[in-house]
Structure 1
Amino acid sequence: MAGDDVMLMAMRRGKWQGDEMTAPDPLEQSANGDGSSDIATEFDDVRLVQRRWQAACIDGALPPYEELALGSVGRFADEMAVVRLQPGTDSFILRAGPRFSAIAGLSEPAAVLSVLPFPFQRAISGAIELARPAARPRLALCRSIIDGMVSAVEVLALPLSCRWPGEYFLVFARPRKSQIDLARLLINSTDEGILALSALDSAGAEARDYQVLSINNAAARFLGVSAEDMRFRLLSQSNAARGLSRLLDECGVARAHGVAAPSLELEYQLDGETVSLQVGVAETDGLLAVTLTDIREIRNRETLFRSLFDDNPVPMYVRQVDGGAFLNVNTAALNLYGRGRGEFLALGIADLEPDVVGLPASGERYVRHRTAAGSELDVIEYARNIQVGTAPATLSTIVDITERKRAEDRISFLAHHDPLTGVGNRTTFSQEIEEAVATAVAGHQPFVLLLVDLDDFKAVNDTLGHAAGDSLLVETADRIRKLLRRSDLVARLGGDEFAILLRGALSRADVETLAKRIIQAISEPHLYEGHKLAIGASLGAAIAPADAREAGTLLKCADLALYRSKRDGKGAFHFFEPEMDAEMRDRRELEFELRCADLDRELELHYQPIISVKTGALRGFEALVRWRNPRRGMVSPAEFIPLAEETGMIEAIGRWVLDEACRRASTWPEDLVIAVNASAVQFRQGHFAETIGQAIARSGLDPARLEIEITESVLLADTGANLAVLQRLKEIGVRIALDDFGTGYSSMSYLRRFPFSRLKIDRSFVRDIGSSRESMAIVRAIIGLGANLGIDTTAEGVETGAQLELLRQERCGEIQGFLFSPPVDGAGAAEIIASYRGNKVQVA
């Protein structure tokens, strides 16, 4: 295997170790010995990477690549690239992770550094050049367009030692959270030219230059260039724009000294004609939004409403351009703001508009003004540049839209949003998906439909009431919204079901990553009036137009994928596959057959023996229900039990199982127990304890011989109702076992609050105890926990002698599995009992 591949595999296999390290990070110091200032990262996990690098330095030597990758940064592989420097050759990207490639615009995972866009070349080279002499990680920033947004991308270079020739660096790239929407800067463009610029500091005494991030067609026409050719180039590369650079420098100097900017007018020759422009500049987070307006058009509008000013019923006022002082105001404006003329003319613009930054520019804008009484007004201000004498001024016409806007906003919101969660409603979703499908079918923009269904949400409503459920829905919608882009849509379709439209061509891997993040976010506990609420989510996805070319069909496809996720145990995600439609038809047929089944004739119980590890004695059996379908043959419980829970058949099936298990166990020797699994649906129906009591009474079985096995899903909602049912079963004399222990998250607190009879170790841990240190540690911890609490432990799924020996060494109480016997029918159970009576089962 080539050295590059070895390094990539190491990077992908790496796991975090020792996250508790809290040593101070030298990269967070204010300055370095070489005179360069550090840029602080805004990500906690990136700081941890820096600390891990420092911890890996021994005796001042750079950490070996393999050690750092295997022990620290493997989970960042998607955001990293391996860069090699060799004398006499271009810097080379050996391998780049998918996320790094997407951010940097790489089409191939390996390439020379010079193929990257200029900002990334500069940032990566700069970070490496800082890291080389310092022999420690260094961070640089660059700006890039990601998903239509300008993002500040952190580029971290970590120098490493390596046994291969050349110098090696791990380069990490991640966009910061803050982004700037360029479209918002250009949204009001009509005949005005608009540019978005990023200032570039000069290295020496040369004039400052600007990088063009975005430019509209009007600005390109004014400057005599192509908008596409000019984007991301330097402003100085356009002859007509050299004078613009000078004006921007003057404006920047004025802002730096806290004084008003000079009047920005630009005049030059273009194709034999004189172009005269008025230049407007606004700064946002280090970016410049520049507007170019034909002065002749502005001058043609200067006299608007001049003759109607004083007696006009529409509020108006005049301000100086230089300083912003009020020069005149009409009676309608005085009435609107509740002030006298002298009082009004003595105001500053900040008294009228408290949130103003600088002096408002000309044009139309929506603002919020304040009256003399302190109340707020929603107004539209139409500002036009005029001349008052020889001085430039602004005439503003004010339209009060306070009441209209409040009514419109409320009506619009209710028409398009879910009133509880604030996300889109079904009406909005229907409109959006119809338009999105039409666009996708036309070949313009594919998209992904995600359906989200909350797992175990009904349990919260049933136990804590609808107010708790509403709180959970609001929090869920907010968590989903935070993970989406501005172009995406989330809507609540009703109940606990949400839909998400992901616009644009996304890879299946990107969609799957987002789905997992949504599942993780929703599964985080939610606090409500002292209760810790925990639910899950299942997701299904369909892609348009690949899966369907009509909205209704696409919804059906996504719903089938969602059903597959719910069937796979919840908390899962699936894309639609064509065979799912056939599976759904088969499911409906199976549901019909289950509803029509003769339970006494078609259901049967099988029994798996439970063996004492210490004595080898038979302790009893676990009863497992089977369905012998007349047409299909034996149907797996994994198929029909979830179906029974969804359709309400589980109550009748559960009653039959309890009656049959108790009846059969009553014929066995009195020292043998019978274990019966209880569905979470049965447990929540409210009369489960009575059903068990009736089965015991009909069979005459000693209650102490019946053990009810419940899973951690039964304990989902932390309410007194669960404990009340468990306590009622305890009072009857029934034993309670906690099944699949260790696979969930809610059972630990219940161990303190309820005396369980047994903990059953899930087979997934038992299967790997011979090969996985983690599984062995979990099994050992569960057995030790049970011993300390005085609770028996049973290991499921024991299939080999090696597993048995390890469990014996850990003093596990009981075991069951194919090593001794698979589940057998009633006759087989009788044979095992007869054999047990003659000779104890051998476990040695």
Structure 2
Amino acid sequence: MPDALGERSLRSSEALTRLDPQQNRRDATMIAALRNVSLQKGAHSMIGLDHTGLGTVDAAGQSLAAQTEFDDVRLILRRWQSACGAGALPPYEEIALGSVGRFSDEIAVVRRLGDEPPLLLRCGQRFRAIVGLAESARSLAELPYAFNLAIGSAIDKACSAGEPRLTVCHWVVDGKVSTIEIVALPLSCRWPGEYFVLFLRPRASQVELASLLINSTQEGIIGLSPIDCGHGATSDFYILSVNEAAAAFLGSSIDSLQFTRLSDALTKVGISEIPQELLCAGSGGRISSFELAYGLGQQRVALQVGVDIAGGVLAVTLTDIRDLKARETLFRSLFDDNPAPMFVHSQSTGIFLNVNEAALRLYGYSRGDFLDSSLAEIRVDGRTNRERDGRELVLRHRTADGRELDVIEYTSETLVDHQVAILSTIVDITERKRAEAHITYLAHHDPLTGVANRTVFTRELEHAADSLEQNGRRFAVVLIDLDNFKTVNDTLGHAAGDALLIEVTARLRHLVRKTDVVARLGGDEFAILVPAVECRSDVEELAQRIIRDLTAIRKVDGAEIVIGASIGAALVPDDAADIDSLLKCADLALYRAKQSDKGTFRWFEAGMDMRQRERRALEIELRGAEIDREFELHYQPIIRTQTGKLRGFEALLRWQNPRRGMVSPADFIPIAEETGILDELGRWVLAMACREAATWPRDLVLSVNVSPVQFRKGNLVGAVGLALAGSGLEAHQLEIEITESVLLAESSTNLAILKQLRSLGVRIALDDFGTGYSSLSYLRQFPFNRLKIDRSFVREIVQCPESLAIVRAVIGLGTSLGIDTTAEGVETVAQLEALRAEKCGELQGFLFSPPVARKSVASIIGAYFEETSRLA
């Protein structure tokens, strides 16, 4: 017995998933297995496969002998049955070495030992020739995939049933498509392992491959032999060959057309003369395509005729262009009668080629004058011209009488006389632009007082924060609340209250510097941004002037009033490290001022907010933390939706604080981002995660989140490169996850960094997709590899139709753009089924596993491969 074993044929678990009718049972098993590993219970729920395979007994119970086409197979089956003992398989020697041996040219003997790959012990020459197996090949894994799958299926079913089984597959033999019968006969043997005899033979019926391909196309194909009328000129053609589509176009059959004159075939469909383009090509002249139209019964046929020549034979293709002609007719109708202004111009010169009546009315030209001009003559250069995307332009156009219009121009390419032209549809938005300008003003200003609103004030705070980071310039926020304003409003009415607010605004504008920003936050609350603060006394003096000046207001609308102001202030970076904290601190200071005697000013003090003090303490501990000792990585599995296979893991940072214990990422990540510590932590996460992932199977990926801080530092590309080089992890195994905030800040710079990462071979994912307001625009700017659907949509996908609609739209968008999708936060089987129905690519969530410590990752991977092996 040979003792060298080749590789066993491995059938992909994905293919088996498609064959397995028990999809839900397999999913439940995979989920249970992953959950058990993540909880470190060590128990895994396993199931077997019940797939049908190829060539199984049909619904009517047809026997193997009835399935086969060959008497030889029936003879082999009888000999196998006669060699069976009482409840035992026939011995290896009696079948493989006995009378069946006369079929040795068409059989192979296979041994399968445990989990080792099946080994070819003997293999006939005809067997090798049909499957394309080399003389030196010893393993079924070396077979072409079609035979690998079919033979593997036959062996599995024969082994399971304890009796012969038949499968078929299709293969090209001697240039023809043949149906190959494969019979697997199980044997017994005194040596270890499972033994099988394989019989292989093509069935009698075959299909000519070339004929199959030519007759399957919807294009007509004709081979023509020129008929010489003397002096090298062609007068007619013999039809040498014709396919079914061409025969149908000519209203006839292949048999009635072949070896007849082309002129006769054309006469039957009402064409009296052979087209000059064909005669010219047949005479050795210019070869050109042309259109041919004629009547066929009640139908009108329109064909595009292509011509080529080889060895003196013309190859003619006939393409049905009836739909194209109908679309052209429809286009002309829609263009001429469309109420929207439309025109067509040359892409290269801008000269107008056509215009409809609506455009002539809009621009005030006659048709002749418009077509004598060009696009450059109606566009106003340098006046609000800007491009929204590749097909939409916001422009300023000029009419015949000199008026200027704000328009949106939608463009698309078309063909005019085989030349590229541009079809433009015009929308006049002149009035809309005026309305938008007013709306924009209202969106950025308080409608009553005309000062900045909360939106603009927040934006100015962000600019001040950027200036602090770049130039170290401190800035302050002063919050002002009017004392006794409610009394004025209640006693004198809202008109008097509005008049008072307008007066207060005028006085505030007079008191501040040009660089200060005054805003009304709502009601009687005002705010002032004081940039570039040299010392606290400057802010204190401003506050005291405001109190004195507002207290001096004694009348409004002729009525006596008593009014004052309470003021609170906070300074960056002395009192707060970020904008949100700054506003909270200033608000706490204002609250303390209002609690004191009215008409007072207070700075923020640390004792005003114990939470702020705790936050600072956490920041100090974070700055002093030993990264290698206190931080660790946890990993959450990512699962392929349709197959249940493990795709990889997402790395998540955890902080084991010596004093506090495990600190939530929600508590320390924002602090690390704001203080810049996250850049160092991020580089550590990249290095450690890549090092760990390098020990995983090569088909698993690692997903790592990257903060905007790491983009701002400017060394992210280098950090990723070092992590890959230091770990040996393949670049395509690493996926960097970013949020929309990365693109909101310095988008051009950050997009350049993303492109550099892509050039390394790293994949890029957009996290929390759909929660921001600009996500779609970023898909146009950068080709992401993956969109991650936010857990807030997944949570409501079963109960909320709106959430389902959003998830469906994101998945559909990803599919149309060739971008994978991953749903986060999957916790129920109902959510799993809904996402599978929408064909979401991958899943994460507690339904499969929570994030687990590094030591548990190997168990999950092992369970996955164990489950995959069991499914196979």
Structure ranking higher on relative contact order (CA contacts 8 Å, 6+ apart): 2
Larger Rg: 2
Normalising by the residue count of structure 2, what TM-score does the alignment of the two structures yield?
Answer: 0.37
- Under a length normalisation based on structure 1, what TM-score does the superposition of the two structures give? 0.38
